[in-house]
Amino acid sequence: MRIAVLGAGAWGTALAISLSANSSSSHQVTLWTRTPGHLAELVSQRINRRYFPAFPLPDSLRLTSALDVAIEFAELALIVVPIAGLRDTLRQMAACGKTIPVVWGCKGFEAQSAKLPHQVAQEEYAGVASCGVLSGPSFAQEVAQGLPTALTLASHDEKFSRNVAAQLHTTRLRVYSSKDIVGVETGGAVKNVISIAAGISDGMGFGHNARAALITRGLAEITRLGLKLGGCMETFMGLTGAGDLILTCTGDLSRNRRVGLMLAAGHPLPNILRELGHTAEGVPTAREVLRLSQELKVEMPITKAVCSILYAGVSAGAAVEALLGREPKTENY
């Protein structure tokens, strides 16, 4: 399959390496970066120095900074940009006058609109029915290393999700299909917010018991919101729900967990984001999730606590005390 990977950040580069380096596949992969300077670096060094200095780009991987060139002969576009860049990338694709099937790998709710990625795609790339999301518990570095990873590809078009999942599936990158695009996207978005809370908990030294409780109740928040939006319960118990949540709340490679750790240490948010250097989707997503939950009357106390720290100047200690001081209730989703 001829695949255009749009976005040369960590996740895009990892997918491009994995899909083009796999000897069992017949994929012809082109990696697109929007910056000519970045392209020059990739071409001359055959390494994405900012994200993966230890992983050379496969010789077969093609590189370009021209979007029309990237998608000219592609049979599938994998859009792997932050949620903030999804709309603009889709608009640029539409302006090229060529419509091809698209799958996006971003996780979050769009700022200001609180829309999921598939809703953005419907507005900007409505001419293509074959589209979907690729998500799941996956650190980009481990995918680039070729370590075993399992993902879910979801689309309203079941035939499309099955076919593309089968095309992308390898022994190291296992891809399952789903028709629950709302559930998959919601799980991928909200888990980043819960991960910030997990980092705060760990940074304050609350221990494994507290982290397990937070993950479990965080999953309840994800599920409540996801069901309200039209997702399926089974999805939240699977790879893109519990699986992704557990990984990002416990793994040291999690950017959002690192944000929480630094918040617990008292670092100001602007300094944290500057030091991080990479996108932590949970930060902008938290505000949209809270707003959406209030509109839909979905109780999400952990998300509310995270937002109070990020945007209302509440200290991590005070936010935690407020959470711990809540009245006990019957455990439910």
Cite the active site residues.
191
Tell me the backbone φ, ψ of residue 145, rounded to 5 degrees: -75, -15
Q: Backbone phi, then psi, for 48, in 5-degree steps? A: -90, 90
Instruction: Count CB-CB contacts under 10 A for residue 155.
Output: 27
Sign of CA dihedral 191, 33, 146, 76: positive
d(C-alpha 147, C-alpha 19), whole Å: 13
Residue 7 backbone dihedrals phi, psi, to 5 degrees: 125, 115
Half-sphere exposure of residue 284: CA atoms within 13 angstroms, side-chain side: 17
